A and B are shown apart, each in its own frame.
Chain A
Amino acid sequence: MTILEVAEALKAELLVKGEGSYKPIRHVVASDLMSDVLLVDEDDMILLTSLSSDQVLRTAQIVGAVGVIVVNGKPLPSSMVNVANDLRMTLATCKLSKYDACVAVYEALKLK
Chain B
Amino acid sequence: MSDAPQKSAARAKGETEPTAEGEPLVLLELIQRLKVRDVMTSKLATVPRSATMREAQELMRQKKISGVPVEESGRFFGLVSIDDIIRALVASTIDEPCSRHMTTKLVVLEDDMPLSFALRYFDRYHYGRFPVLNRDQRLVGIICQRDINRALLVELTNELNRLETSSSQTLGIDGAYSVYVLREFPICKYDFENAGKAANQIKKVLQEKKFSPKVIRRIAVAAYELEINLCVHSDGGVLSWQVSNGRAEIIARDAGPGIEDVEWACRDGTSTANEWIRSLGFGAGMGLANVKRVSDEFEITSRKGSGTTVRSVINIGLPDVT
- Once the chains bind, are A62 and B284 in contact (CB under 8 Å)? no
A39, A51, A62: which has the most chain B beta carbons within 10 Å?
Answer: A62
Chain B residues within 8 Å of A39, by CB:
286, 290, 293
Q: Which of A22-48 contact B (CB under 8 A)?
A: 32-36, 38-39, 41, 43
- Once the chains bind, are B203 and A55 in contact (CB under 8 Å)? no
The residue on B at minimum CB distance from A33 is: B284
The reply on B224 being an interface residue by CB < 8 A is yes
Instruction: Tell me the interface secondary structure of chain A in the complex.
Output: helix
Contact of A62 among B199, B213, B282, B285 (CB under 8 A): B199
Chain A residues within 8 Å of B24, by CB:
none
| Number of residues of chain B lying within 8 A (CB) of chain A | 24
A36, A43, A59: which has the most chain B beta carbons within 10 Å?
Answer: A59
Q: Which of B180-232 contact A (CB under 8 A)?
A: 192-193, 195-197, 199-200, 203, 213, 217, 220-221, 224-225, 228
Q: Which of B48-94 contact A (CB under 8 A)?
A: none
Q: Which of B273-290 contact A (CB under 8 A)?
A: 280-282, 284-287, 290
Contact of A58 among B200, B217, B290 (CB under 8 A): B200
The reply on A87 being an interface residue by CB < 8 A is yes
- Once the chains bind, are A58 and B282 in contact (CB under 8 Å)? no
Chain A residues within 8 Å of B225, by CB:
35, 38
The reply on A97 being an interface residue by CB < 8 A is no
- Once the chains bind, are A58 and B221 in contact (CB under 8 Å)? no
- Once the chains bind, are A51 and B281 in contact (CB under 8 Å)? yes
Closest Cβ–Cβ distance, residue A73 to chain B (whole Å): 18
Closest Cβ–Cβ distance, residue B21 to chain A (whole Å): 16
The reply on A56 being an interface residue by CB < 8 A is yes
- Once the chains bind, are A53 and B281 in contact (CB under 8 Å)? yes
| Complex CA distance for A59 and B192, rounded to whole angstroms | 13
Please judge, given known A-B contacts A54-B193, A55-B196, A58-B200, whether A63 and B221 are in contact too, CB under 8 Å. Answer: yes
Chain B residues within 8 Å of A51, by CB:
280-281
Please judge, given known A-B contacts A58-B200, A62-B200, A64-B213, whether A38 and B192 are in contact too, CB under 8 Å. Answer: no
The reply on A61 being an interface residue by CB < 8 A is yes
- Once the chains bind, are B217 and A59 in contact (CB under 8 Å)? no
Closest Cβ–Cβ distance, residue A90 to chain B (whole Å): 16
| Complex CA distance for A81 and B213, rounded to whole angstroms | 26
| Complex CA distance for A94 and B200, rounded to whole angstroms | 26
| Number of residues of chain A lying within 8 A (CB) of chain B | 23
Contact of B281 among A56, A62, A64 (CB under 8 A): A56
Q: Which of A64-92 contact B (CB under 8 A)?
A: 64, 79, 87
The residue on A at minimum CB distance from B291 is: A38
| Complex CA distance for A19 and B80, rounded to whole angstroms | 64
- Once the chains bind, are B281 and A38 in contact (CB under 8 Å)? no
- Once the chains bind, are B197 and A58 in contact (CB under 8 Å)? yes
| Complex CA distance for A49 and B281, rounded to whole angstroms | 10
- Once the chains bind, are A34 and B282 in contact (CB under 8 Å)? yes
Chain A residues within 8 Å of B280, by CB:
51, 53, 55
Please judge, given known A-B contacts A35-B284, A35-B290, whether A43 and B221 are in contact too, CB under 8 Å. Answer: no
- Once the chains bind, are A38 and B221 in contact (CB under 8 Å)? yes
B213, B217, B290: which has the most chain A beta carbons within 10 Å?
Answer: B217
Chain B residues within 8 Å of A53, by CB:
192, 280-281
> Which residues of A are interface residues toward B (Cβ below 8 A)?
32-36, 38-39, 41, 43, 49, 51, 53-56, 58-59, 61-64, 79, 87
10 nearest A-B residue pairs (beta carbon): A58-B196, A35-B286, A34-B281, A62-B220, A62-B224, A35-B284, A51-B281, A33-B284, A38-B221, A55-B196
Q: What would 12 more interface pairs be, CB under 8 Å, given A39-B293, A54-B192?
A: A35-B284, A35-B287, A35-B290, A38-B224, A53-B280, A54-B196, A55-B281, A58-B195, A58-B200, A61-B203, A62-B196, A63-B221
> Which residues of B are interface residues toward A (Cβ below 8 A)?
192-193, 195-197, 199-200, 203, 213, 217, 220-221, 224-225, 228, 280-282, 284-287, 290, 293
